[in-house]
Amino acid sequence: MKGTLFLFQWDKTTAQARAKELRAEGWKVDVESEDGARGGKKVLADPPNVIVMDLAKRPSHSRETGNGIRGYKAGRSLPIVFVDGTKEDIEKARTKVSDAIFATSVDLKKVLEKFATGSSDKEKVTD
């Protein structure tokens, strides 16, 4: 197992498909597709290795959820990766969660390798 990942994806069908892909890559995936506050509480209670948030659908939900998680001591150091979204959505998210990482769906698996705990150093992405 590569580690734990919490996915905020605001469309249930897309969430199930992305979670299935990530599980096939070796991640233990928890998903929230309806309520950012509920998902944020889960993340803070049992911190994952990485949080993935969708910006393509309901980007304001992802921004506010990420900002809310950052508002707690337990959430300040958790890695957050925002996926997809328009240039404007990315800029707005960057102002709310300035230390987040931004990726496209195409690059997501490569970006996540940086946070994998079950991978060798050779597999990890370096900055």
Alpha-carbon distance 36 to 55, whole Å? Answer: 13
Alpha-carbon distance 94 to 2, whole Å? Answer: 27
pLDDT digits (tens, 9 = 90+) for 83-92: 999 999 999 9
Selection from 29, 70, 72 nearest residue 48 by Cα: 29
CATH superfamily of 3-113: Response regulator (3.40.50.2300)
pTM strictly above 0.85: yes
Q: Position 88: which residue type? A: E
The domain ranges of the chain are 3-113
pLDDT value at 17 more than 60: yes
What confidence tier does 123 reach under pLDDT thresholds 50, 70, 90? very low
CA angle 21–105–92, rounded 5-degree value:
130
- The whole-number pLDDT of residue 10 equals 93
